[in-house]
Structure 1
Amino acid sequence: MAPSEEENIVSTVGSVLESCARDLTAEAISLDPIVGRDVEIEELITYLEMRTRRNVILLGDPGVGMTAVVEGLAQKIVNGTVSAGLRDCRIIALNMASFIGGTEYRGLFEKKISLLVQELEKANGEIILFVDEVHMLVGAGRGGRSDIDAANLLKPILSSGDIRFVGATTFEEYAQYVKPDAAFARRFNLINVNEPSRDNCISFLHKLVPLYEERECVVVDPKAIPAAVDLTIRNMPATRLPDKAIQVLILACSIANGLVPRTSATKNDPKETKPEETGNRPTPTLGGDQQGKAGETHQKLQQEQEDEQADGSQKKAEEKILYTGKSYVSKKFPNLRWRKSDKNGKGHQPYIDEDKKKSGSSKMFSKLRLRKKPDGNGHGHQSSTNEDKKISSPATELSNVQLEREEPNEAVTGPLPVVTVAHIEMAVSRKTGIPIYLGVKEKNELEGLEGRIKERVVGQNHVIKPIVDSIIRARAGYSNHTKPIGSFLLIGESGVGKTELAKTIALELYHDETRLITINMGEYYEENSVSRLLGSPGNVGVLTEEVFQRPASILMFEHVEEAHRVVLNALVGMITSATLRDGRGRKIDFSNTLVLMSSHCSYRKKGNAELTSQEIRNKISQEFLNRFENKLFPKLDTLVFDELTDEHMNFILRKKILEISERMEVKGLNLEATPRAIEYARSHYYNKGVRAIEGWLEKVVGTKLAEITISAESSSISKIVIDSHDNELLYHSIK
């Protein structure tokens, strides 16, 4: 009789640990070194050596390194630096997805749990079971009318002390899933894994850098390591160290590899293809297994230096250390040796020391050849000057060092890239969208920012300058990072350019008008509407979610005078500390935002002819602050917009008509407005503001132009002229 499908599934389960888990102790030699977690690892060892309740849950925010604590314990077990009770233990990481998979039939999940428990009991405590995302045990396997899940099935074995169990989860998931089941939660000892300090993270990265240098075939400038930590702390507050710094460093290595040119040349042809003649420039890849430890490289370097001093030969001159930025190639790759490449002594070819091929560094670079790029005369090793060692930009070609892959037919050559602070800035900018890197192009754009804004927003130079100054300070790194880029209260009548200024800044600064986040504060006139702005408990808010998704933005709060005082007071933290908490408890960072708040107030200069423009602005500002009593407005820099003059109105009219003309050119028509037409529009709509002029151009002029365009004679019309006569507008069609 053929076995049933259920019997087949049960029979194929076999060893649960073999099919659904991996041995971390077996992989310990290939894991990255763990630095700065000695306290957590020792606390974990203490709990695992207890007689009963040898169960631990590691709690921390995502990215702080909870799994790294377990990996650090695995490395200690392999190195034999643990007590006798744990020296023979293995750490087995259970894959919950594989464990739950294939248990859709009733009873299969319980069978799998039973087999797992049996295997752990047979190990007599020599297996430490590690479950990442341990909160998934609560509810796992529950279905139908049964309330039994993995957590309930494991409770007896967890309390008996027959097994060693380590889980990891976040504070939020522990509170949501594990803590409500008090009987399950009490069986665990808790270890808080906090975010490492800045200094510990820098020390951790220093240990990892040699590994990434060999994997990515780059050299990391020592200054780039603290820059990666500092820039991620400042610009990525939602994520945690060390994960965010590691990811930025890896991305920076890739960026450096992409910026440095590569050329391709066959091994039989000594002539190298010039970079400009190559279409696709391949990047060299590394072969072999990387198993060397970070500390071995330094020890091997010291041993080699002692050997050189003992020999007293001229090998020291041939093995001259080559500069690549501020790092030494020979120090990073200590197993490379230099020797003459031909009978004439031209050029230097390195080779791998056969006695040292067992090291991880030799294996990593066993297929790479480092050689000196020949000069125009074909000679190789030349004396270098300080000018040759300077790096002017991340993409500067380091012409004195090249890498080749030794393959039968083709070799990939190119300079060894250096990961600098500029690459770190580029990496952070790509991950966050925050403009951090300040290159030549960015500097030129900032220098002309004020002039470009003045071209679009006329008559308000006194308003534009302080805003641009705050932007330049922030981009240059001289602003206070605990506050927004700038926070300004814009006071003026409708149509003087408040909204246009915000749009222009977003377009000129980010080349994207969608970076402008506009919020109509007139909708928040009720006291309880603050929850809609910041988010009610458990929900996201209109303001906080927008800034969370786009941390580098222009915030435009319109009609702030109409908002409730409680709503305005709730925004004080955004100005004073550049942070607000949303309904989900997240701390939203506003340090990369420019905050603009506008008020439509009809303040006139009439009757104040004896006062200067600045005195009038000060008077208007003080009257506004006295009128609205709240904690927010006094903390803003108040800027008062001036009324537009006849000259300004004529300029705006011509600009708007030019925009219409550009749209008509697509249809093959030209538009022209005579000075009389401009004067007609100005005289009729000057007192109504720019908004009225825009409405008149769209509804009156636009409608008339549309009628002409769809007429039967439009195919023969090439130009439309708008004129004025006897207080009326005239439209002349020219064929």
Structure 2
Amino acid sequence: MSQPFGGGFGPLEELVGGLLRTFEQSLTDDRVGRDRDDRDRDDPGGGPAAPRPAPPRPRARTPRLDRYGRDLTDAARRGLLDPVIGREDEVDQVLEVLGRRTKNNPLLVGDPGVGKTAIVEGIAQRVVEGRVPPALRGVRVVALDLAGMVAGTKYRGDFEARITAVVDEVVAAQRSVVLFVDEVHAVVGAGSAEGGALDAATILKPALARGDLQLIGATTVEDHRKHIARDPALERRFEPVRVAEPTVEQTVEILRGLRERYERHHDVTIGDDAVEAAARMSARYVPDRFLPDKAVDLLDRAAARARLRSADDDRDEDDVLRRIAQLARARDVAVDAEDYERAEELTKEIGRLSAVEPRPVLTADDVAAAVARSTGIPTARLQAGEAAALLDLDARLARRVVGQDEAVAAVADAVRRSRAGLAGPDRPAGSFLFLGPTGVGKTELARTLAEALFGSEDRLVRLDMSEYGDRSSLTRLVGAPPGYVGYDDAGQLTEALRRHPYSVLLFDEVDKAHPDVLAVLLQLLDAGRITDARGRTADVSHAVVILTSNIGAGSLQTGRPVDDVREEVLIEARLRLRPELVGRVDEVVPFAALTAADLTRITGLLLGATRERLRERGVELELSDAALAWLADRGHRPELGARPLRRTIAREVDRPLARMLLAGELRAGATVRGDVRDGALEFVAV
């Protein structure tokens, strides 16, 4: 009798034992159900008792759900979830929806990174603490991994079988399980690509409609519009709960609540200034993401960097501990010898060494350095001395932009006004219309401004508006509309702004652009943002916008002072450009024609590159004043300004010096001098 019977059962003893265990479990479940019914009769109002940690309900067998899900209540019970701060209202709204008789499936809708998943974790923590309505006490909140369910489904019907089995287990649990599906829009179409006839949404709808299944979903505003709103039968099963981005002040409180866990993980001490800097600087310098996610990431990155930097200091810390032990032994010896003066000195030394902070302290400077590394913005320099740098902006610009003192002063004043917070917050950091002849420094001022404000000339985004003279060219600027060729390609302007929101946008020869292109510039200047063909918004509030044109060149080349011809130039600009475009810029900046003295100074600046290349070979270059004036005169064309100067220097200076170098006439330590003789420039090595 102890042998297997028919090959399908175990020994008789095991069979009988299994039947007894099953019978005992059914009696236990029946007793638990009667006790719950008795409590409901004793308290017909259903009023909650005093909040206390709630034991889990008798757990139904859910092997498929356990395989494809993560039990958030179990994670909360073990202390694995981060604290949820500042989302009490949203948590209460979700609990209200879960407690409804019908349509009790909350749908968290908000931008990525605002804390939708954290709200669900907060619900799991409340369930564990017992601070939920009686109907929800002891429930399990399980995050369903939809991608894991799809993975490995090779044949038709595999996915349907998996998700149906999970739904059946949840339904059999009699509302003791609340499912959470992140990126819930993915249920629309999930599984159908693997050869199945049904998707996850179609399988879930009947259970949701009957109320047998409770589900919390999370999705973004855009994905809700694209996927869920297009399926009214699915949308009506959910009750939306809007999750807004927290303010900077709320983000600071969230970071303070998370600080202890990050300190423990990175073994650093995070100061209050670092917490505030992470919230403030992430809001300012990371415009394409949302709080609090970007602030948490920034603080995490800065703490990891601080821990890495202090790894080399661990050896020094061990040396300090050994030194303290040596001093303690020496103090004991001094006490035994009754040398109390020496013992007191050793005690003070031990106290001094013990007071050294054993862990690195994260400061606002560390956070600023993390921003600088991730965005390329010289944040550390701006944070430390932005005010001084802005006050000195005129002089820094004038070192490279010659002969345009009024234009430099106007630009510097407008930038200072914007950085001081006196300009509109939803407008660009500065907007200018540069007018004047070609070759007088308009583009050079834009390039210099990019280097002065953002640390590199690479922060200049230049768009030649002569390439946007027809209406179809608008698609190159902001992208093609749906259904047109190139829809998948990003617009040149919008993509540049997303990659480098802190930059100088230079629209060169703006008067040659099509009127429809100018209409885009109106939105950019007025609202501080631009919308591409896909409906995505690019932020322009951190950029400096510069429009250039040769309008007014005739009036400015007459030699009269700029103030005398300013009104003439403005009238011509309003006639040739849209008046509303001229009215939206912060400053209209006329550029005067260059004088002979200005050209001589520019020649000296352009020769700096040649001097540096010769200095690398150990050769010094000296040019007389007559030589500089001769080069300036030969390189100047009234209709082209200073543009021909580079070609003149290459022809009259670089070419003869190259021949001298190849002939061996210039060796390391030599000095070559240039002067004008018989109407030509000659060089002599000395």
Matched residue, 1:120: 170
Who is 2:491 aligned against? 541
Cα displacement (A) at 1:61 = 1.0
Distance in 1 (CA, whole Å) between partners of 2:279 and 2:309 is 22
1:559 corresponds to which letter in structure 2?
Answer: E
The equivalent residue for 2:318 is: 265
**Is 1:157 aligned to residue 207 of structure 2?**
yes
Aligned residue runs from structure 1 range 414-563, under 5 A: 417=361, 419-420=363-364, 422-437=365-380, 438=382, 440=384, 448-472=392-416, 480-537=424-481, 540-563=490-513
CA distance in 1: counterparts of 2:344 and 2:616, whole angstroms: 56
Alignment of 1:616-695 (within 5 A): 616-636=565-585, 637-664=587-614, 673=623, 675=625, 677-688=627-638, 689-695=641-647
- In the alignment, does 2:523 pair up with 1:573? yes
| Separation of aligned partners in 1, 2:152 and 2:308 | 44
Specify whether residues 445 and 177 from structure 1 end up closer, same or farther in structure 2 by C-alpha distance, changes over 3 A only: same
User: Tell me, what secondary structure is at the counterpart of 1:244?
Assistant: helix
For the 8 Å contact 2:434–2:547, the answer to whether it is kept is yes
CA contact (8 A) 2:126 2:132 kept: yes
Q: Does 1:73 align with 2:123?
A: yes
CA gap of 1:82–1:441, structure 2 versus 1, over 3 A, is closer
CA distance in 2, matches of 1:680, 1:267: 69
Cα offset, 1:544, TM superposition: 1.9
Is residue 30 of structure 1 aligned with residue 83 of structure 2? Answer: no
Within 5 Å, which residues of 2 pair with 1:165-184? Answer: 165-184=215-234
* Counterpart amino acid of residue 26 in structure 1: D
Shift of 1:627: 4.3
- Residue number in structure 2 paired with 1:18: 66
User: Structure 1 residues 478, 245: closer, same or farther in 2, change over 3 A?
Assistant: farther
How far apart are the structure 1 equivalents of 2:274 and 2:323?
Answer: 36
Per-residue CA deviations over 1:495-551 (Å, capped at 9, x if unaligned) read: 111111222222333332211111112222234544432334465322222111111
Q: Secondary structure at 2:533's aligned position in 1?
A: coil
Equivalents in 2 of 1:683, 1:130: separation in Å? Answer: 77
Residue of structure 2 aligned with 1:95, choices 115, 140, 145? 145
Deviations 1:80-102 (A, max 9, x none): 12222211210111222322222
Cα distance change of structure 1 residues 401 and 472 upon mapping to structure 2, 3 Å threshold: farther
Show the counterpart of 2:46: none
Using the aligned pairs only, state the percent identity: 33
The answer to whether the Cα contact below 8 Å between 2:414 and 2:430 also exists between their aligned partners in 1 is yes
Aligned to 1:7: none
- Partners of 2:385 and 2:449 lie apart in 1 by 17
> What's the CA shift string for 1:176-211, capped at 9, x where partnerless?
233334443343333222223455444444433444
Number of residue pairs the alignment of both structures matches: 598
Aligned-pair distance for 1:67? Answer: 0.9
C-alpha distance 641-32 of structure 1, shift in aligned 2 (>3 A): same
Residue 120 of structure 1 deviates from its aligned partner by: 1.7
| CA radius of gyration, larger in | 2
- In structure 2, how many angstroms separate the alpha carbons of the residues matched to 1:245 and 1:633? 38
Letter in 1 for 2:407: V
Q: Secondary structure at the match of 1:26?
A: helix
Quote the Cα distance in structure 2 between the aligned partners of 1:94 and 1:145: 22
Cα deviations by residue, 1:14-45 (Å, 9 ceiling, x for unpaired): 93222222110011133222233333333323
Q: Secondary structure at the match of 1:140?
A: coil
Q: Among 549, 554, 564, which residue is 1:603 paired with?
A: 554
Amino acid at match of 1:70: V
The code of the aligned residue for 1:248 comes to L
Paired residues of 2:431 and 2:545 also in contact (CA < 8 A): yes
Measured in 1, the distance between the counterparts of 2:683 and 2:299 equals: 65
8 Å CA contact 1:608, 1:616 repeated in 2: no
Alignment partners' CA distance in 1, 2:148 and 2:344:
58
Give 3-state SS (helix, strand or coil) of 1:591's partner: coil
- In the alignment, residue 443 of structure 2 is paired with which amino acid? T
1:171 partner letter: V
Give the secondary-structure state (helix, strand or coil) at the position aligned to 2:212. coil
| Alignment CA distance shift 1:668-1:345 (3 Å) | closer
Q: Distance in 1 between matches of 2:331 and 2:678?
A: 95
Q: SS at the partner of 1:543? A: helix
Paired AA for residue 269 in structure 1: R
Listed one character per residue, the Cα deviations across residues 117-144 of structure 1 (whole Å, up to 9, x for unaligned) are 2322331221111111122222222246
TM-score w.r.t. the length of structure 2 is 0.76
Distance in 2, Cα, partners of 1:241 & 1:524: 37
Deviation for aligned residue 1:51: 4.7
Q: Which amino acid aligns with 2:174?
A: N
Partner amino acid for 2:122?
A: G
Preserved CA contact (<8 Å) 2:464 2:507: yes
Match of 2:663 in 1: 714
The 2-side partners of 1:447 and 1:399 are apart by 43
Could you list the runs of 5+ residues in structure 1 that have no partner in the other structure? 1-13, 274-340, 347-373, 383-397, 404-412
Q: Distance in 1 between matches of 2:470 and 2:456?
A: 33
The corresponding residue for 2:38 is none
How far apart are residue 586 of structure 1 and its match? 2.7
Two-structure CA RMSD over aligned residues (Å)? 3.9
For residue 541 of structure 2, what is the aligned residue in structure 1? 591
Q: Can you give the 5+ residue segments of structure 2 that lack an aligned partner in the other structure?
A: 1-61, 336-342
Please give the secondary structure, in 1, of the residue aligned with 2:74.
coil
The letter for the 2-side match of 1:624 is: A
Partner SS for 2:149: helix
Aligned to 1:109: 159
Amino acid at match of 2:408: I
Query: Secondary structure of the equivalent of 1:603?
Result: helix
Paired residues of 2:637 and 2:644 also in contact (CA < 8 A): no
Does the residue aligned with 1:631 lie in a helix, a strand or coil? helix
Residue of structure 2 in register with 1:193 after alignment: 243
Q: SS at the partner of 1:187?
A: coil
What is the match of residue 24 of structure 2?
none
Q: 1:492 to 1:102 in 2, by over 3 A?
A: same
Worse-superposed segment, 202-211 or 168-177? 202-211
Q: CA deviation at 1:106?
A: 3.5
Q: Distance in 1 between matches of 2:168 and 2:157?
A: 17
1:379 counterpart = 2:348: yes
Match of 2:4 in 1: none
Q: In structure 1, how many angstroms separate the alpha carbons of the residues matched to 2:64 and 2:204?
A: 15
In structure 2, how many angstroms separate the alpha carbons of the residues matched to 1:454 and 1:198? 38
Q: Using structure 1 for the length normalisation, give the TM-score.
A: 0.71
Secondary structure (helix, strand or coil) at the match of 1:632 reads helix
User: 1:588, CA displacement in angstroms?
Assistant: 2.1
Counterpart of 1:693, as a letter, is L
- Alpha carbons of structure 1 residues 445 and 189: separation in structure 2 relative to 1, 3 Å: closer
- For 1:344 and 1:469, locate their aligned partners in 2 and report how far apart those are by CA, in whole Å: 70
Q: Deviations over 1:462-482 (max 9, x none)?
A: 222232344455556666533
SS for the counterpart of 2:545 is: strand
Distance 1:546 1:685 in 2: 35
Residue 696 of structure 1 aligns with an amino acid whose one-letter code is: T
Give the SS at the match of 2:637. helix
Q: Which amino acid aligns with 1:16?
A: R
